[in-house]
């Protein structure tokens, strides 16, 4: 942030030095609100705002889409682990399936509320780690049981990987500087006519007010969608909600 501020100060210094040099070279004064300086500045500010606005929209949108796909990948891995667990000895199968059901309930409940604040529940990780240890401890006296245990462990690895990605998604936000630039350029675009010396009156205030309202709504949108699990683009626990209704059917043999 210090470097950004230093760059901005240097740019202002360049403008001041250039204005002095132009005076020495007998440049033409430009005090008019609709002069070349105001027109050039307005065009560049509009372009900068649109660039920052586009990035601030596209980045969270892409992140949210990837996070939503990852939740379905994780729920699918849980479903496959649940199916694979049915091949274990009955006591172990019931224990593993019950643990997977608890994990799903934890994720779609308390953990999802924590993800709105950028973190995951330690309880969910403890359940997953305990489940992995229990599956490793399953006694497999035949090749079929060994294959079943290996399949469950492989799916648990997939769950763990998807969970790690979900933790990263929960912490992902656009760079703070990007949102700041979006807000500042939006304000500059709105205030430019006044800063350049114009005094809008009457009907000219209508389009200016409409532009200001739309810019404010767009700027708020970039802030509202900046987090994957909150706001207008929030990723919900739909995948785990659906899975929770499917697990009893799997227990019944499909």
What is the overall mean pLDDT for the chain? 85
Count the domains in the chain.
1
Q: How far apart are CA 177 and CA 59, in angstroms?
A: 14
Burial class (CB in 10 A: 0-12, 13-18, 19+), 217: exposed
The CA-to-CA distance between both ends of the chain, in Å, stands at 56
Is 7 part of a structural domain of the chain? no
pTM of the model: 0.79
Contact predicate 245/131, CB 8 Å: no
Q: Is residue 149 part of a domain?
A: yes
Higher per-residue confidence, 198 vs 35: 198
Asked whether residue 127 carries a pLDDT value surpassing 60, the answer given is yes
User: Within a domain: residue 4?
Assistant: no
36-49 average pLDDT score: 79
Q: Nearest-CA neighbor of 151 among 192, 93, 199, 99?
A: 93
Look up tokens 């005090």; give the residue.
31
- Average pLDDT (211-222) is 89
Name which of 81, 83, 85 is nearest 160 in CA terms: 81
Question: Residue 173 has what pLDDT?
Answer: 86
12 falls within a domain: no
Alpha-carbon span 174 to 63, nearest angstrom: 10
Integer-rounded Cα radius of gyration of the chain: 29
Q: Which helix (H) or strand (E) holds 10?
A: helix 2-24
- For position 26, what pLDDT does the model report? 58
Q: State pLDDT tens for residues 180-196.
A: 888 888 888 888 888 77
Per-residue pLDDT at 110 exceeds 60: yes
* Torsion sign, CA atoms 246, 86, 107, 226: negative
Position with higher pLDDT, 104 vs 16: 104
In a domain, 129, yes or no: yes
Percent of the chain, pLDDT > 90?
46
**pLDDT band for position 22 (50/70/90)?**
low
Using the predicted structure, report yes or no on whether residue 74 has a pLDDT greater than 90. Answer: yes
Kindly state whether residue 111 falls inside one of the protein's structural domains: yes
Tens of pLDDT, residue by residue over 129-169, are: 999 999 999 888 888 999 999 999 999 999 999 999 999 99
Please indicate whether residue 40 or residue 189 has the higher confidence score (pLDDT): 189
Length of the chain: 254
Residue 17 neighbours by CB under 8 Å, 6+ apart: none
Torsion of CA 119, 120, 121, 127, to 10 degrees: -160
Band of the pLDDT at 7, cuts 50, 70, 90?
low
- 47 in a domain, yes or no? yes
Establish how many alpha carbons lie within 13 A of residue 13's alpha carbon, considering only the half-sphere containing its beta carbon. 6
- Supply the range of the domain harboring residue 156: 36-251
Residue 59, domain member (yes or no) = yes
Cα 16 to Cα 90: distance, rounded to the nearest angstrom? 81
Count CA atoms closer than 13 A to 207's CA, side-chain side: 4
């Amino acid at each position: 942030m210090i470097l950004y501020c230093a760059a901005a100060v240097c740019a202002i210094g360049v403008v001041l030095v250039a204005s002095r040099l132009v005076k020495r070279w007998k440049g033409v004064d430009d005090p008019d609100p609709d002069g070349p300086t105001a027109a050039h500045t307005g065009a560049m500010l509009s372009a900068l705002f649109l660039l920052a606005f586009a990035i601030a929209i596209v980045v969270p949108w892409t992140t949210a889409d990837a996070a939503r796909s990852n939740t379905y990948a994780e729920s699918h891995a849980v479903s496959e682990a649940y199916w694979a667990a049915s091949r274990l000895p009955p006591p172990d199968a019931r224990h593993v399936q019950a643990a997977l059901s608890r994990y799903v309930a934890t994720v779609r409940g308390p953990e999802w509320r924590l993800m709105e604040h950028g973190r995951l529940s330690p309880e969910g990780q403890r359940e997953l780690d305990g489940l992995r240890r229990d599956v490793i401890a399953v006694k497999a006296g035949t090749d079929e049981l060994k294959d079943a245990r290996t399949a469950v462990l492989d799916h648990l690895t997939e769950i763990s990987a998807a969970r790690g990605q979900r933790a990263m998604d929960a912490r992902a936000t656009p760079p703070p500087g990007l949102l700041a630039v979006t807000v500042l350029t939006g304000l500059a675009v709105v205030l430019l006519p006044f800063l350049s010396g114009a005094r809008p009156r009457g009907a000219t205030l209508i389009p200016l007010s409409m532009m200001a309202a739309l810019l404010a709504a767009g700027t708020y949108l970039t802030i509202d969608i900046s987090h994957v699990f909150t706001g207008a683009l929030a990723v919900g626990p739909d995948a785990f909600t659906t899975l929770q209704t499917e697990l009893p059917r799997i227990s019944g043999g499909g």
